[in-house]
Structure 1
Amino acid sequence: MQKIISVFDSLRFSESTLHYSIVIAKQQQAHLAAIFPDDATYHSFDLLQLLKSGTDQDTIRLLEENDEAKRKTAVGSFEAACQEAGLEYSTHHSSNLALQTVLEENIYADLLIIDARETFTHDKANAPTRFMRDLLTDVQCPVLIVPGQIWAPPAFNDINNAVLLYDGSPSSVYAIKMYNYLLPSLDILPTTVLSVNRYGNHLKNKRLMKDFIKRHFPNALYKVIPGSPDEEIPKYMVQQPAGTIAILGAYRRSAASRWFKESMADIVLQAIPFPIFVAHAK
């Protein structure tokens, strides 16, 4: 049985993470563990600003009690959804820093599911957030990044179409392998292997790649586009139907190079409102 972990900010509970976690865990008959990083320094309000403004302790205490009530409600929502779905589940709590907690927990998981807009601060931010960048750089297991709350429609779209991003690198092939191994129930979906080539419209390592793909996705189609991947991939993806999932690798880079070049995961996160499966070879 697989172990899937879902990361929740209990003060800003993600219905998107809950939805996709329940659907995927049910499809894979997996154990679903919810991670609630209850960082002692994190509140739904700016504590430092309140102290500076002279807010009285009784008011601050009420705000802290309200946060505690939100945390309990979030856990209750997760447990109720799992019980209704008939899933085997558990909840994990930690008062450590959120990133530290998630990086430790993911070592012992097969898949991590998280909202694209998680910050674990009282401030909101556009995707990819600083928290997500740091997480994706050091994560040890594949990650399913689900659409942030601002994108989520009233009724969530279940995954019904897949785009495998391939650039000829070992990392892109590794991501496709992990997607296939971890989410075999999605193999039957309409699947396209998308490759963008700056130097023409040929598929890199065509014979080897097609031989590999037909063993796992025998009905996959191929789309090779000339041009810049940074421009053409988002342009292609925004034209895909609701319910599409993108699969990509190659996030891990040295700390210095991250200052100068965006990862393709960053570019895709900024451009499309779809679930994104990310895995990178170590």
Structure 2
Amino acid sequence: MMKVLFISDGVDVEQGAFEFIKEINRRSPVFLYGIFLPKRSLGYWLLRAGSFFLLPPYNFQTEEKLIAAACRFSDLCREHHINHSSYSGRGEAPLLKLRRESRYADYLVVSYTIFQQKNKKLRKPRQYLSRILHHCECPVIVVPDQFVFPSKNIIAFDASASSVYALKQFFYLLPDLGANSTILVNVGANNNKNGGLNKTNLESLTINHYHSLDPTCLRLNTANELSEWVVSQQAAILVAGACGRSRASQLIKRSFLSGILKDKRMPLFVAHR
């Protein structure tokens, strides 16, 4: 049974992210651990470099909202037969909590709505995602409020160790989705820095994991062209690798991924080492 983390704004249970988890649980049961934090603090604590930063004391209204959200979460989990537990953001530094729980979790599911909060320093969705990746020690799945559950996988591949790692982690963690139709998209695999695209090695790996893989590695010429093509795909999930938590991922800096985050219609799976 997979352990799945779920971050919420402490006001409500984001329906898109929970719907994704509900369908995953229907296919193969998971243990879901919900982390609830006040809405105003999500961007606030992501900006804190120190892992020992504690959230300020909650007022009575915030306390009530957190309790209501956690109760709603428990009710939904029981209704859909999901094993679960939760944490309401008190008594422990949020960054330490996220890091500790993610170290012992299989993956984290978070809603796109977190990336829409206004913050002077985190102006773009990819900046929020980079911060979450920086403090998280497991793969991250970002889910929009409105989406069609994936029946197609799009793997952003640049022949780097991180993109191969993401390709493998996606199949290991979500094998039911790995059985879907899969397309590899070349996002710089011919770059000599990554050793170039070795089709023989790639096929020897993917043939045993992705049985419905299109053997053609789609190549588009510009970031905008790539972004437009990806967001035009229906009922798909994008899989991307990241280059570690110590700095923002090269893929996350790419404008095509920023466009996908801005579009808010496709789930995104990011694995980092």
TM bracket (short chain): 0.7 to 0.9
Aligned residues of 2:151 and 2:181 also touching (Cα < 8 A): yes
% identity of equivalent residues: 24
CA distance 1:140–1:5, change in 2 (3 Å): same
**Structure 2 partner of 1:50:** none
Q: Note if contact 1:165-1:194 (Cα within 8 Å) is conserved in structure 2.
A: yes
Q: How many residues align?
A: 249
Tell me whether 81-90 or 268-277 shows the greater mean CA deviation.
268-277
1:117 equivalent among 113, 116, 125: 113
State the SS of the aligned residue for 1:204. coil
1:225 and 1:2 map into 2 onto residues whose CA distance is: 34
Distance 2:262 2:199 in 1: 30
Alignment counterpart, residue 104 of structure 1, candidates 97, 100, 118: 100
Q: Matches of 2:13 and 2:73 in 1, distance apart?
A: 10
**Residue 175 of structure 1: how far off its partner (Å):** 0.2
Offset at residue 120 of structure 1 (A)? 10
Counterpart CA distance in 2 for 1:119 and 1:251 is 21
- Pairwise CA distance, 1:220: 0.7
Q: Does 1:159 align with 2:159?
A: no
Q: Partner residue of 2:138?
A: 141
Residues 116-153 of structure 1: per-residue CA shift (max 9 Å, x gap)? 23169786976516443211133211111111xxxx34
Partner of 1:88: 83
Q: Equivalent residue for 2:165? A: 174
Q: Which residue type is aligned with residue 112 of structure 1?
A: L
Unaligned 5+ residue runs, structure 2?
Answer: 43-57
2:221 pairs with 1:227: yes
Which consecutive unaligned segments of at least 5 residues does structure 1 have? Answer: 44-62
Partner deviation per Cα, 1:168-210 (whole Å, 9 max, x = no partner)? 111101001000000011122121111144869xx81111111
Match of 1:27 in 2: 27
Is the 2:220–2:226 Cα contact (8 Å) retained in structure 1? no
Partner SS for 1:215: coil
TM-aligned CA deviation for residue 237 of structure 1: 0.6
Name the counterpart of 2:48. none
- Partners of 1:247 and 1:199 lie apart in 2 by 19
Summarize the Cα distance change of 1:67–1:123 in structure 2 as closer, same or farther, 3 Å threshold: farther
Larger radius of gyration: 1
**Corresponding residue number in structure 2 for 1:52:** none
Please give the root-mean-square deviation of Cα atoms over the aligned residues, in Å. 3.2
Contact 1:198 1:226 in 2 (8 A): no
Q: Go from structure 1 to structure 2 and tell me whether the alpha carbon gap of 1:108 and 1:198 turns closer, same or farther (over 3 Å shift).
A: closer
Partner amino acid, structure 1, of 2:61: N
| TM-score (norm. length: structure 2) | 0.78
Q: Which stretch shifts more, 120-129 or 85-94?
A: 120-129
Q: Secondary structure at the match of 2:125?
A: coil
What letter corresponds to residue 137 of structure 1 in structure 2? H
Letter in 2 for 1:212: L
Q: Offset of 1:105 from its aligned partner? A: 1.7
Could you tell which deviates more after superposition, 267-276 or 23-32? 267-276
Q: TM-score, normalised by structure 1?
A: 0.76
